[in-house]
């Protein structure tokens, strides 16, 4: 059989087994090179070199190990399975295997808690109680038990009795090994052991008795001294008490150290809400005080407050209650005085002087005269009231004092205000106050209603902005307009606008479009519209202050631009006032475009028209004026000077925004100012627009007018200078420009197909567009490949099995043949022998 197998395994296998692997790989007869038809860039091929012999023999071996075994066991019902640990695991080395088996064995025995396993490491128990423990307790009563061995068997004993396991034998000490060297008979050994254990038992018993005696003795001793101890306890306690203070001192120290102020972080910066809240709180408290004083019940408080020393106190000893005088003190960690304001009042009350005389205004903006006026008024009112409700019994001095306080309180502004709900509210809130006070009122209103303080405040302040604009409009449309107040209110408007840009935008837009709408309507009805009033001009100016006019497109300034344009091209100039308004609009227009340098045709038209009004002879001009001006018509010599000597008394100074010109001399001066401003604006325009390609064409009409028609000689020298400068700035001949060409465009790149990037999941031909499809294709492919591989394997298996079967058959056949031959041989021998015998017999 062995021989047969060797024959079947083939020569090559034998050779391979004998040789080392590298040697095989180097052998050119073993190596099969897979020739590549094409070189594909980036393809890594693993299989360019193959070792067919090696792989075949490996596969053969594998089959022999698995398939063949199975084949041999085919049709057999029982089989032997070795369940020992790691029996079939080839990865574990035999040493490890053995060690593992040992530990497993140990664990098994340990788990079983074998009573007869007399290892020292193992704890023995009796009725669930550790025997070792029992022994240590050395129960006196139990001391008599004479169970000789108490189950305590030494390792040696067990070893000698039962021969021990393999593991136990290894645990033998060196001494044992020595003993083992001397061969002893079994009888001797047992004798020795018995003697030894008996001796040990005896020793243990005596030891126990001694210990018993000692403990009893100790107990007795203890009882004798126990009383003494009992007597001494109070003293021990006192000793403790003595200790206590010392401990506390220490504790205190520790605690103090613990609680000592650490380096505190500096106070953080307050957020705007906190600041606003504090500010409002401050204002609220002040307001509460003010109200109290106004109601006239300041006495109770004054009793408390007037004891403090005012900062203004001159220490003249004029103190009503000297005894109660207090020094600077802290109360609840706070400085025990009210705020400065309070002190001041205290001082005032102390002095008992007439409050009217004292300037107790705390706000520097307050207008004194206004306030005095108000005080007077209040005084009258107050006195009337006083007269009616006068209590005859009250001391006159008291009365006066109270009145003074009340008046002071009335003259002061309130510290908190309710936000106006309607425009009328705002009006009534601000009316009757000086401009400075109005500003203060607004300031306080805004502070009290900071949007972070309450939810409704935002809407209130947003409405306030609208009302404020309306109010400003009203101030500007008064006669005479109160532009000073408007001027003072600008910061408030600005700050509100900063808070609510959207609302501000809406409000300004609405005013602008309302005004534009009414202008449009008048235009449709009459064909011409009057110049916008001063309130609109002020609004436009405020618009320029609030919103950037240089934006290409802006929700507010673009409509404002259109409004100015509409006014400049549609509103007629019939009086000097109109001309002034027009000029204001021109100034605004110029201001609007001064940064962006945008072109404003209506501005140029209007300036030309205004200058045209100054020309005495209006026929045969070399230019054309446009709407709203006409070449000839009513009011066409509005700006023509009538008095040639007026220029001598004129000096350049800003004109009022709301001049009402009356006297002829004033009119002349006004005309001169207008012409001067007009020329200045033209000059600004020339510098603004000088980069425009059509610069000369834009200014040509103005140039013609200035050069040929303007009565320059009548004007003062500074105006003449302006005139000359403008003419210098405008060249006679148009400047040269390159003809227009389109912007150079970037060459359009050729249309290219952008590479389509496909994620490669598996190499090879795969179709499908979506991810699922690709996955499907891939799996299909894989399945096909696997299927083919499996088929091939199966075929190889069958071939292998067939070969094995054939081998079996052949070996069986050869055996039979051999046996048949043998039989034949023996038969032939028998036959020969028999024939020989027969022949012998015959013989």
* Interaction residues for other proteins, span 32-91 (CB under 8 A): none
Q: Residue from 298, 626, 638, 706 that binds other proteins (CB under 8 A)?
A: 626
* DSSP secondary structure letter of residue 431: T
Among the candidate windows 138-146, 202-210, 407-415, 624-632, which touches other proteins by CB under 8 A?
624-632
Nearer to other proteins, 409 or 546 (CB): 546
619 touches other proteins by CB under 8 A? no
Smallest gap from residue 709 Cβ to other proteins (A): 18
Q: Which of residues 573-612 bind other proteins (CB under 8 A)?
A: 583-584, 587-588, 590-602, 604-605
CA distances for 364 relative to 175, 290, 368, 440, 692, angstroms? 113, 18, 10, 10, 51
The whole-angstrom separation of Cα 227 and Cα 231 is: 6
Q: Least distance (Å) from other proteins to the CB of residue 570?
A: 8
Among 91-99, 400-408, 457-465, 489-497, the segment contacting other proteins (CB under 8 A): 489-497
Instruction: Name the residue nearer to other proteins (CB basis): 392 or 502.
Output: 502
CB of 588 to other proteins, least distance (A): 6
Q: Please report, as residue ranges, which positions from 674 to 703 form the binding site for other proteins (by CB under 8 A).
A: 677, 680-681, 684, 692-694, 697-698
* Contact (CB, 8 A) for 547 and 482: no
Beta bridge partners of 125: 130
Instruction: Based on the shown chain and the rule CB under 8 A, indicate whether residue 492 belongs to the binding site for other proteins.
Output: no
**Which residues in the 523-542 window bind other proteins by CB under 8 A?**
527, 538, 541-542
CB atoms within 10 A of CB 249: 10
Query: CA nearest 576: which of 716, 675, 643, 479?
Result: 675
Specify the stretch interacting with other proteins by CB under 8 A; choose among 69-77, 386-394, 504-512, 798-806: 504-512
Task: Please tell me whether residue 554 binds other proteins under the rule CB under 8 A.
Answer: yes
Task: Please say which residue, 430 or 503, places its beta carbon nearer to other proteins.
Answer: 503
CA distance 399 to 390: 9
Q: Which of residues 101-140 bind other proteins (CB under 8 A)?
A: none
Contact call for residues 683 and 706 (beta carbons, < 8 A): no
CB of 639 to other proteins, least distance (A): 15
Q: What is the DSSP letter of 74?
A: T
In the complex with other proteins, which residue's Cβ is closer, 350 or 680?
680
Tokens at 360, concatenated? 């107790």
Q: What are phi and psi of 322, to 5 degrees?
A: -65, -35
Cα–Cα distance for residue pair 398/311, rounded to 1 Å: 24
CA distance 512 to 519: 11
H or E stretch at 245: helix 186-259
- Per DSSP bridges, beta strands 129-130 and 32-33 are unpaired
**The tokens 């007018």 sit on which residue?**
705
Nearer to other proteins, 401 or 565 (CB): 565
Among 475, 556, 576, 613, interactor with other proteins by CB under 8 A: 556
From 106-114, 299-307, 416-424, 564-572, give the range in contact with other proteins by CB under 8 A. 564-572
Contacting other proteins within 634-653 (CB under 8 A):
653
Cβ distance to other proteins smaller for residue 692 or 727: 692
C-alpha torsion sign, points 525, 526, 528, 531: negative
From candidates 8, 285, 513, 621, binder to other proteins by CB under 8 A: 513
Distance of alpha carbon 596 from alpha carbon 688, whole angstroms:
9
Site for other proteins in 293-322 (CB under 8 A): none
**Positions 744 through 763 that interact with other proteins (CB under 8 A):** 745
Segment contacting other proteins (CB under 8 A): 197-205, 231-239, 543-551, 642-650?
543-551
x/- mask, other proteins, residues 425-454, rule CB under 8 A, reads: ------------------------------
Euclidean distance between CA atoms 614 and 230, whole angstroms: 130
Residues in the chain: 843
Q: Which of residues 391-420 bind other proteins (CB under 8 A)?
A: none
Give the nearest distance from C-beta 747 to other proteins in angstroms.
Answer: 14
Residue 743 binds other proteins, judged by CB under 8 A: yes
Q: Name the minimum Å distance from CB 584 to other proteins.
A: 6
Q: What letter does residue 50 receive in the DSSP assignment?
A: E
Is the CB of 168 or the CB of 505 nearer to other proteins?
505
Interface residue with other proteins among 627, 635, 704, 811 (CB under 8 A) is 627
Tokens of 817: 């043949």
Instruction: Select from 157, 298, 419, 516 the one that contacts other proteins (CB under 8 A).
Output: 516
Q: Is position 555 an interface residue for other proteins (rule: CB under 8 A)? A: yes
Separation of alpha carbons 60 and 9, rounded Å: 9
C-alpha distances in Å from residue 280, one per residue of 97, 106, 272, 319, 419: 87, 86, 12, 34, 14
* Stretch of 45-53, 88-96, 478-486, 642-650 contacting other proteins, by CB under 8 A: 478-486
Least Å distance, CB 581 to other proteins, is 11
- Residue selected from 446, 469, 512, 615 as contacting other proteins according to rule CB under 8 A: 512
Long-range contacts of 67-76 (CB under 8 A, 24+ apart): 67/797, 67/800, 67/801, 68/800, 68/804, 71/801, 71/804
Round to whole Å and give the CA distance between 547 and 469.
14
Please identify which residue in 298, 337, 511, 546 interacts with other proteins, judged by CB under 8 A: 546
Neighbours of 163 (CB within 10 A): 9
* Distance of alpha carbon 292 from alpha carbon 301, whole angstroms: 9
Cβ-based nearer residue to other proteins, 590 or 710:
590
3-state secondary structure of 740: coil
Nearer Cβ to other proteins (745/843): 745
DSSP assignment string, 609-633: HHHHHH-S--SS-SS---TT--SS-
Of these, 355, 468, 504, 638, which contacts other proteins (CB under 8 A)? 504
Q: Per CB under 8 A, which region of 24-32, 490-498, 709-717, 771-779 contacts other proteins? A: 490-498
Q: Of 7, 115, 624, 660, which lies in the binding site for other proteins, with binding defined by CB under 8 A?
A: 624
Question: Where do we find the tokens 């693993």?
Answer: 46
In the complex, the smallest distance separating the C-beta of residue 371 from other proteins, rounded to whole angstroms, is 23
List the interface residues with other proteins, window 713-742 (CB under 8 A): 733-734, 736-742
Q: Which stretch binds other proteins (CB under 8 A): 66-74, 160-168, 561-569, 775-783?
A: 561-569
Q: How many residues bind other proteins (CB under 8 A)?
A: 92
3-state secondary structure of 787: helix
> Which one of residues 92, 155, 168, 505 is an interface residue with other proteins (CB under 8 A)?
505
Task: Enumerate residues 6+ apart whose C-beta is below 8 A from 801.
Answer: 67, 71
Q: How far is the CB of 571 from other proteins (least distance, A)?
A: 12
Interacting residue with other proteins among 14, 17, 113, 517 (CB under 8 A):
517
Closest CA to 439 of 535, 542, 363, 358: 363
Residues 6+ apart with CB under 8 A from 168: 155, 158, 159
Tell me whether residue 447 or residue 566 sits nearer to other proteins (CB atom). Answer: 566
Among 418, 487, 829, 830, binds other proteins (CB under 8 A): 487
CA atoms within 13 A on the CB side of 772: 0
* CA gap 478, 688 in Å, rounded: 36
3-class state of residue 646 by DSSP: helix
Q: Interface with other proteins includes 471 (CB under 8 A)? A: no
Under 8 Å between Cβ of 607 and 678:
yes
Kindly tell me which of 60 and 565 has the beta carbon lying closer to other proteins.
Answer: 565
**Positive or negative, the Cα torsion across 371, 373, 375, 381?**
negative
**Is residue 709 at the binding interface for other proteins, with CB under 8 A as the rule?**
no
User: What's the closest the beta carbon of residue 462 comes to other proteins, in angstroms?
Assistant: 13
């Amino acid at each position: 059989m062995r021989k047969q197998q060797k024959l079947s395994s083939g020569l090559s296998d034998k050779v391979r087994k004998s040789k080392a692997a590298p040697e095989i790989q180097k052998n050119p007869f073993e190596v099969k090179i897979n020739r590549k038809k094409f070189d594909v860039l980036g393809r890594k091929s693993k299989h360019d070199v193959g070792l067919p012999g090696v792989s075949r023999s490996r596969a053969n071996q594998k089959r022999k190990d698995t398939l063949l075994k199975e084949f041999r066991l085919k049709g057999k019902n029982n089989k032997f399975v070795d369940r020992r640990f790691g029996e079939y695991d080839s990865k574990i080395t035999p040493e490890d295997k053995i060690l593992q088996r040992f530990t497993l064995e140990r664990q098994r025995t340990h788990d079983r808690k074998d009573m007869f396993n007399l290892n020292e490491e193992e704890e023995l128990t009796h009725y669930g109680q550790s025997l070792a423990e029992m022994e240590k307790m050395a129960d006196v009563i139990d001391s008599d038990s004479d169970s000789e061995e108490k189950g305590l068997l030494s390792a040696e004993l067990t070893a000698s009795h039962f021969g021990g396991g393999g593991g136990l034998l290894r645990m033998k000490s060196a001494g044992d090994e020595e003993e083992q060297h001397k061969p002893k008979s079994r009888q001797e050994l047992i004798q020795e052991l018995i003697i030894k254990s008996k001796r040990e038992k005896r020793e243990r018993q005596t030891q126990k008795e001694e210990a018993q005696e000692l403990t009893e003795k100790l107990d007795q001793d203890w009882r004798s001294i126990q009383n003494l101890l009992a007597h001494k306890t109070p003293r021990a306690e006192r000793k403790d008490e003595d200790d206590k203070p010392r401990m506390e001192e220490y504790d205190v120290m520790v605690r103090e150290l613990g609680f000592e102020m650490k380096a505190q972080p500096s106070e953080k910066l307050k957020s705007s809400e906190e600041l606003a809240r504090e500010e409002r709180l401050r204002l609220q408290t002040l307001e509460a005080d003010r109200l109290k004083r106004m109601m006239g019940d300041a006495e109770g408080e004054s009793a408390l407050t007037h004891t403090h020393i005012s900062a203004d106190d001159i220490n003249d000893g004029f103190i009503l209650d000297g005894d109660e005088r207090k020094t600077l003190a802290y109360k609840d960690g706070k400085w025990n005085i009210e705020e400065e304001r309070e002190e001041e009042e205290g001082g005032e009350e102390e002095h008992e002087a007439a409050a009217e005389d004292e300037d107790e205004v705390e706000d520097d903006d307050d207008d004194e005269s206004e306030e005095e006026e108000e005080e007077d008024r209040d005084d009258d009112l107050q006195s009337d009231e006083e007269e009616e409700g006068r209590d005859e019994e009250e001391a006159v001095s008291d009365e006066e004092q109270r009145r003074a306080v009340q008046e002071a309180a009335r003259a002061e502004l309130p510290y908190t205000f309710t936000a106006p709900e309607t425009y009328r509210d705002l009006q009534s809130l601000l009316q009757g106050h000086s401009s400075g006070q109005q500003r203060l009122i607004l300031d306080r209103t805004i502070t009290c209603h900071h949007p972070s303080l309450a939810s409704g405040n935002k809407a209130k302040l947003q409405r306030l902005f609208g009302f404020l604009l309306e109010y400003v409009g009203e101030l500007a449309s008064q006669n005479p307009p109160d532009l000073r107040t408007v001027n003072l209110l600008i910061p408030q408007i600005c700050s509100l606008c900063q808070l609510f840009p959207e609302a501000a935008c809406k409000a300004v837009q609405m005013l602008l479009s309302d005004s534009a709408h009414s202008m449009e309507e008048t235009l449709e009805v009459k064909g011409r519209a009057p110049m916008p009033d001063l309130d609109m001009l002020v609004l436009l100016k405020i618009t320029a202050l609030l919103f950037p006019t240089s934006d290409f497109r802006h929700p507010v300034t673009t409509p404002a631009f259109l409004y100015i344009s509409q006014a400049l091209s549609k509103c007629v100039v019939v009086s000097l006032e109109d001309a002034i308004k027009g000029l204001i609009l021109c100034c605004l227009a110029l201001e609007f475009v001064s940064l962006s340098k945008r072109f404003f045709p209506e501005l140029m038209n209007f300036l030309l028209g205004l200058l045209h009004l100054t020309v005495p002879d209006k026929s045969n001009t070399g230019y054309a004026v446009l709407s709203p001006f006409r070449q000839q018509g009513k009011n066409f010599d509005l700006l023509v000077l009538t008095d040639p000597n007026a220029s001598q008394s004129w000096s350049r100074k800003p004109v009022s925004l709301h001049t009402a010109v009356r006297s002829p001399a004033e009119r002349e001066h006004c005309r001169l100012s207008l012409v001067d401003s007009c020329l200045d604006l033209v000059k600004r325009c020339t510098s603004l627009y000088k980069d425009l390609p059509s610069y000369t064409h834009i200014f040509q009409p103005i140039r013609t007018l200035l050069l040929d028609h303007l009565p320059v000689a009548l004007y003062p020298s500074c105006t003449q200078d302006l005139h000359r400068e403008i003419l210098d700035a405008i060249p006679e001949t148009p400047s040269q420009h390159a003809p227009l060409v389109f912007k150079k465009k970037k060459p359009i790149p050729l249309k290219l197909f952008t590479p389509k990037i496909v994620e490669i999941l598996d190499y090879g031909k795969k179709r499908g567009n979506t991810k699922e499809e690709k996955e499907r294709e891939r799996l299909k492919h894989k399945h096909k490949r696997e299927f083919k591989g499996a088929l091939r394997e199966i075929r190889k298996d069958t071939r292998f099995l067939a070969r094995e079967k054939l081998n079996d058959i052949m070996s069986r056949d050869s055996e039979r043949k051999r046996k048949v031959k043998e039989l034949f041989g023996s038969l032939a021998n028998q036959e020969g022998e028999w024939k020989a015998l027969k022949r012998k017999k015959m013989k």
